[in-house]
């Protein structure tokens, strides 16, 4: 599927508008590198469209940037002049089986961002690309990287199986990469950076183009999500499913203030979370999540030997099974978005509602539904994840340099993950 530059402009401007809503705070003009990069996405892409719109029909687009530090790799200093996007001829699972690209070294640039904090491929939470039969691994990668709607069931048939019926089934999307001085960017683990969305490729390219003297990975959230999907989630989906599900027993939206002790906070929680729990109950087997009030939450969350070996609230079994089944329906792109949201919001239910709501918006299943998606936009989801923090700020005041940055980080993470997942869904919806 090919989109014109105007499509990238629309998405980039929308991203900037949503980001601006989340980044701005009353009475304080503060911005971080991440917010600056998000807003630069719109301006960089807009400049490209104004200069030469026909370039969208070409396999490669490039635009100039001033102030490049040089043409060679020097630590994390900017080493490129031009940033662009390119239509890739090879799908990610068709690359060589050793974790390296099938492109020649002269046609690609190694990622200056390492997988590990020590400049190596080893770090906490970083898993190596597994070895094994190349055909089996390729089929598994294809199943995880071909986009699909959340909750739509297990991975679709592979392109090979679909071809046997004479139909592609929409399971072979176009793949786009990002180029630096004409060479394709690689992931930290050495694979070609490939995303199934031209608009997303434009936005990742704009993140690279917004870098000035030194590269700041924290200001490239979309690049981070894409690399994590390709290097980690696609190869280790079970780890990412289990990590997200660990937030369900300790979900922040299930621990309510005691209405007899803190009536105002309880009222805010009820306003923010009641619709969320109704939606999750409707979509996850019909059982409502377990909730606890005040000290009751601490008592219910304790471990009790063999009877309750793990900490957290004992949710209904049907809800837990439905949540596990739902995570198995996600592709690698959705899995990294799920983990990013759940980690920031400390809530599996908020992450579920955001991604499942996006699938419903596309009319994925056509089923009758009792509850509508609880969040009109990402800002509502961000507010739901910060009910207690914002209540304490309203009572005791805002601490500059702490609370304001917490707000920013929450907004950046949730907006980036939502934009990442929705962009891929919209360009690959059947």
Q: For residue 327, which phi and psi values (nearest 5 degrees)?
A: -65, -30
Looking at the DSSP bridge assignments, the partners of residue 177 are: 86
pLDDT: is 277 or 153 the higher one?
Answer: 277
Q: For residue 240, which phi and psi values (nearest 5 degrees)?
A: -70, -35
Per residue in 248-279, is it b (16+ CB within 10 Å) or e — as a string? bbbbbbbbbbeeeebeebbebbeebbebbbeb
Question: Please, what are the domains in the chain?
Answer: 77-90+173-220 (3.30.2180.10), 237-427 (1.10.3580.10)
The predicted structure's pLDDT at residue 101: 47
Q: What is the pLDDT of residues 233-268, one digit of tens each?
A: 999 999 999 999 999 999 999 999 988 888 999 999
Q: Is the pLDDT of residue 199 over 60?
A: yes
The predicted structure's pLDDT at residue 95: 72
Check if the beta carbon of residue 83 is closer than 8 Å to that of residue 209. yes
The predicted structure's pLDDT at residue 31: 35
Q: Is the pLDDT of residue 56 over 50?
A: no
- Lowest-confidence range among 53-57, 126-130, 160-164, 327-331? 160-164
**What is the mean predicted confidence (pLDDT) over 216-222?**
90
**What is the mean predicted confidence (pLDDT) over 146-173?**
52
Confidence of residue 401 (pLDDT cuts 50, 70, 90): confident
pLDDT: is 103 or 269 the higher one?
Answer: 269
pLDDT: is 302 or 64 the higher one?
Answer: 302
């Amino acid at each position: 599927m090919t989109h014109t530059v105007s499509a990238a402009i629309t998405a980039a401007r929308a991203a900037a508008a949503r980001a601006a809503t989340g980044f701005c705070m009353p009475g304080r003009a503060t911005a971080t590198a991440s917010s600056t990069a998000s807003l630069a996405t719109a301006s960089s892409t807009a400049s490209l469209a104004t200069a030469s719109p026909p370039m969208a029909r070409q396999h490669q687009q490039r635009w100039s940037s001033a102030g490049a530090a040089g043409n060679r790799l020097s630590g994390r200093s900017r080493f490129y002049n031009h940033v662009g996007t390119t239509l890739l001829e090879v799908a990610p699972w068709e690359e060589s089986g050793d974790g390296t690209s099938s492109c020649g070294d002269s046609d690609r640039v190694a990622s200056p961002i390492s997988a590990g904090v020590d400049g190596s491929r080893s770090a906490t939470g970083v898993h190596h690309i597994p070895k094994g039969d190349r055909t089996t691994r390729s089929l598994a990668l294809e199943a995880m990287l071909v986009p699909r709607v959340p909750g739509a069931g297990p991975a679709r048939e592979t392109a090979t199986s679909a071809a046997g019926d004479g139909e592609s089934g929409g399971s072979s999307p176009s793949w786009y990469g990002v180029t630096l001085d004409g060479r394709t960017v690689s992931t930290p683990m050495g694979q070609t950076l490939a995303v199934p969305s031209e608009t997303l490729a434009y936005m990742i390219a704009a993140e690279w183009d917004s870098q000035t003297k030194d590269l700041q990975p924290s200001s490239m959230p979309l690049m981070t999500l894409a690399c994590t999907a390709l290097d980690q989630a696609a190869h280790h989906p079970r780890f990412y499913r289990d990590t997200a599900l660990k937030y369900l027993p300790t979900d922040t939206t299930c621990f309510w203030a005691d209405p007899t002790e803190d009536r105002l906070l309880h009222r805010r929680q009820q306003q923010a979370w009641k619709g969320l729990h109704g939606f999750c109950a409707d979509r996850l087997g019909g059982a409502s999540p377990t909730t606890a009030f005040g000290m009751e939450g601490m008592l219910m969350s304790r471990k009790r030997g063999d009877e309750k070996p793990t900490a957290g609230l004992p949710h209904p079994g049907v809800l837990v099974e439905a949540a596990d089944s739902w995570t198995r329906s996600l592709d690698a792109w959705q899995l990294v978005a799920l983990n990013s949201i759940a980690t920031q919001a400390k809530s599996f239910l908020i992450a579920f509602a955001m991604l499942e709501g996006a699938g419903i918006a596309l009319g994925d299943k056509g089923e009758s539904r009792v509850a509508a998606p609880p969040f009109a936009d990402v800002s509502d989801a961000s507010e739901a994840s910060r009910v207690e923090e914002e209540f304490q700020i309203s009572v005791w005041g805002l601490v500059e340099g702490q609370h304001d940055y917490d707000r920013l980080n929450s907004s950046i993470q949730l907006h980036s993950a939502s934009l990442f997942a929705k962009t891929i869904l919209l360009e690959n919806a059947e």
